[in-house]
Amino acid sequence: MTAIEAQHLSEHELIEEFLKPLAKSSPYSLNLDDDAALLKPRPGHDLVITKDVLVERIHFFENDPTGTIARKALRVNLSDLASKGARPLGYLLGLGLPKNWNRQKTRDLCAGFATDQETFDFYVMGGDTVSSPERLLISITAIGEIKSGQMTHRNTATAGDVLYVSGTIGDAALHTAICYKKLSAPDDEKAHFLRNRFLLPDPVIALTAAIDQYAKAAMDISDGLIGDLVKMCKASSVSAKLDLGSIPYSAAAASMISGQRLAQQIALTGGDDYELLVAVGPENTLSFEKEASRASIAVTRIGVFEERADETLSFCDAPPWMSFEKMSYEHFS
């Protein structure tokens, strides 16, 4: 780990007081006393590696609880591992700390990491720290393992496969739209629910067994259901027919969609869901649903993959006013 500016906390203090305790349960971290971590998969297994970077005012807001920001950073990466059917092993942590950072914020941030490390048995094994001009930046490189040759890809859906989605869609995007005053807020209870879904997505690690056994293809939804489904279709050289009436929404999201025309479009394209899109062969749909039920994960059939056509997506019941010219969140738009 390289030095950061003092910011009320020296690099040595940051590592010794806050980061080493996070690494003590990792068999790969070497107690953060070396220049690199050391790991190798078990015999007959491959490593699966993914990265997500979270930036203040894009993925979280300045007034969000510091501990939940850390937990979200871990969870969005765990969602990627879940979509590949991989068992989490550990992660590399990159921190860009702004000039107004202090010891208490560091304590709260690392307490958040510690909470979800215990929850998901997933520990830091190394990383880097730098000074950031204005905003907090958290970069996580997550590492998992899977039986050799068994990783589930996004480019292997075929015509006839049934399309499933886990959980509910749109809660986080609707919260963000409320924050930016694009939509009117629902009652306090529903608004609180949407905020919590934005702050703490729930990675469906428990679905990995069902994905390993029955998924033809899978990916997590980070940039919006519509846009990410298009990515899966293009990667697999197929099209998809989506049943908009089957999309699962929470009660809070459904109440907004019923009263504000723009809300459904935002829910489908806004992103930050961190649920999974899964393609399952028609012969395995009941088995997949039973395995998901045993894992206490809700999955919903929302469409079917078809032979590649001029239109990547078609809709069973889209209202005439609905437009998907912008299909997903775009970082560089």
Query: For the residues of 71-120, what is the DSSP string, one character each?
Result: HHHHHHHHHHHHHTTPEEEEEEEEEEE-TT--HHHHHHHHHHHHHHHHHH
How many angstroms separate the CA atoms of 239 and 82, rounded?
Answer: 24
pLDDT at 150 > cutoff 80: yes
- Residue 152 is given by DSSP the state P
pLDDT above 80 for 48: yes
Inform me whether the pLDDT recorded for 110 exceeds 80.
Answer: yes
Please give the residue that has the higher pLDDT: either 50 or 61.
Answer: 50
CB atoms within 10 A of CB 4: 19
Q: What is the pLDDT of residue 3?
A: 38
Is the pLDDT at 326 greater than 70, yes or no?
no
Q: Which residue has the higher pLDDT, 101 or 322?
A: 101
Pairing state of beta strands 299-307 and 162-166?
antiparallel
Q: Which of 21-25, 52-56, 262-266, 311-315 has the lowest mean pLDDT?
A: 311-315
pLDDT at 320: 56
Say yes or no to pLDDT of 133 above 80.
Answer: yes
Specify the pLDDT at position 9: 75
Q: How far is CA 137 from the centre of its chain?
A: 17
Work out the average pLDDT over 302-319: 86
CA distance 97 to 100: 8
Structure tokens at 132: 């950031």
At residue 260, φ and ψ (nearest 5 deg) are -135, 115
Question: What's the pLDDT band for 11 if we cut at 50, 70, 90?
Answer: confident
147 or 333: which leads in pLDDT = 147
Helices and strands per DSSP (H, E), number in the chain: 11, 10
pLDDT tens digits along 154-212: 999 999 999 999 999 999 999 999 999 999 999 999 999 999 999 999 999 999 999 99
For 19-36, what is each residue's pLDDT tens digit? Answer: 999 999 999 999 999 989
Neighbours of 64 (CB within 10 A): 15
The answer to whether residue 127 scores a pLDDT higher than 70 is: yes
State what percent of residues in the chain have pLDDT above 90. Answer: 82
| Span 205-264, pLDDT tens digits | 999 999 999 999 999 999 999 999 999 999 999 999 999 999 999 999 999 999 888 999
Residue 327, pLDDT score: 59
User: Side chain identity at 253, as an amino acid letter?
Assistant: A
Burial of 108 (0-12, 13-18, 19+ CB in 10 A): middle
The pLDDT mean for the chain works out to 92
Please say if the pLDDT value at position 80 is more than 90.
yes
Query: With 60 as the cut, is the pLDDT of residue 6 above it?
Result: no
Residue 58: what pLDDT? 86
Instruction: Identify the burial level of 10 via C-beta atoms within 10 angstroms of its C-beta, where 0-12 means exposed, 13-18 middle and 19 or more buried.
Output: middle
CB atoms within 10 A of CB 121: 12
Q: What is the pLDDT of residue 8?
A: 63
Can you list the domains of the chain with their CATH numbers? 11-147 (3.30.1330.10), 162-315 (3.90.650.10)
